[in-house]
Amino acid sequence: MSLPNHPSSSKTLTLSQPHPSILLVTISRPTALNSISSAGHQELHAIWTWMDEQPSIRVGILTGAGRAFCAGADLKEWNNTVQGTSTSQKETPNMPPSGFGGLSRRSGKKPIICAVNGLCLGGGCEMVLNADLVIAAEKAYFGLPEVQRGVVAWAGALPRLVRTVGRQRAMEMALTGRRVGAAEALQWGFVNEVVPAEGDVVKRAVEVAAQIAANSPDAVIVSREGVKLGWEGLGAEEASSRLIEEWSGRLNAGDNIQEGLRAFVEKRKPRWVDSKL
């Protein structure tokens, strides 16, 4: 399916639409375990920004080709960059304000699901920790091995990790670099679902994305904003007040709330229109 006006094609990313309302982005550097270069960060940032601007696309999915989801930063590029530079220039690869893969610090408008097909380390894990939902293959495993390489998970994972799994588990991951399997990640709460070995993690992610896409696109956007406000540290009352102040008028002025209520009264499935939010 064609994707009109999408960002320029990339040698390391593949875009497709398994469903008219779903964008599937595949990191396609299997020989490099889908590590992401500086250029890759910019490309992914451009793709997620483009997705948010496309009314017909309601959900994004990120996965990897081969046996890895993402092994993190391209350390060969990073090493080449820092050789001969001053200490102040050696800290991190160049990446956009939205963070690693345009996702680890992304705010955005539309939900993104990570379909973790295998190895997920470093920056790959940082992306997962800021994704909206995470579907993992049974063989997948997660880790923040930065301390083993003399670097730090700068891209947003550390404060997000502690909110998700608690102080002691976050310290264990961040200070030891230990890898966490999919079943343990599910128990810890940073994976939504584990797909058995005989299953297809991308197929399952598409099924979940389709459930989201079947709902009011306006209500999905605003509901996601409400969750984010709490995630970012606001108290329940302050977050609720801000959500109502900023979004209730726009939601109520849209066509989809009227269609949803009308469809309920008429006992039929709603016919949503693309969101104008």
H or E element in which residue 76 lies = helix 75-82
- Write down the catalytic residue from 60, 71, 126, 153: 126
Give CA–CA dist 275/231, Å, rounded. 24
Q: Residue 151: which of 129, 181, 121, 120 has the closest Cα?
A: 121
| Helix, strand, or coil (residue 230) | helix
Q: Which residues have C-beta within 8 Å of that of residue 182, sequence separation ≥ 6?
A: 116, 136, 137, 138, 139, 140, 141, 142, 191, 194
The DSSP letter of residue 36 is B
pLDDT given for residue 200 in this prediction: 96
Question: What's the longest Cα–Cα distance across the chain?
Answer: 70
Q: Where are the domains of the chain?
A: 13-213, 217-266
Q: Is 126 a catalytic residue?
A: yes
Q: Which CATH superfamily is domain 13-213 in?
A: 2-enoyl-CoA Hydratase; Chain A, domain 1 (3.90.226.10)
Specify the pLDDT at position 89.
Answer: 45
Please tell me which residue in 71, 108, 137, 146 is annotated as part of the active site: 146
Confirm whether 235 is a catalytic residue. no
Give me 92's structure tokens. 């991190």
Instruction: For the chain, 277 residues long, give each residue's pLDDT as a single digit of tens.
Output: 456 666 655 778 999 999 999 999 999 999 999 999 988 999 999 999 999 999 999 999 999 999 999 999 876 665 555 555 544 444 455 789 999 999 999 999 999 999 999 999 999 999 999 999 999 999 999 999 999 988 899 999 999 999 999 999 999 999 999 999 999 999 999 999 999 999 999 999 999 999 999 999 999 999 999 999 998 888 999 999 999 999 999 999 999 999 999 999 999 999 999 999 9
Catalytic residue status for 193: no
What count of other Cβ atoms lies within 10 Å of the Cβ of residue 185?
24
Q: Report the side by side order of strands in the sheet with 119-121.
A: 68-70, 119-121, 141-143, 180-181
- Within 10 angstroms of residue 255's Cβ, the number of other Cβ atoms is 15
Catalytic, out of 40, 123, 124, 156:
123
- What is the predicted pLDDT for the residue at 5? 66
pLDDT attached to residue 2: 52
Beta strands, E only, 49-152: 59-64, 68-70, 112-116, 119-121, 133-137, 141-143
Q: Is 146 a known active-site residue?
A: yes
Distance between CA 106 and CA 112 in Å, rounded? 10
CB 126 within 8 A of CB 157: yes
Of 65, 68, 71, 73, the active-site residue reads 73
Give the Å distances, CA to CA, from 88 to 93, 94, 154, 161: 12, 13, 15, 26
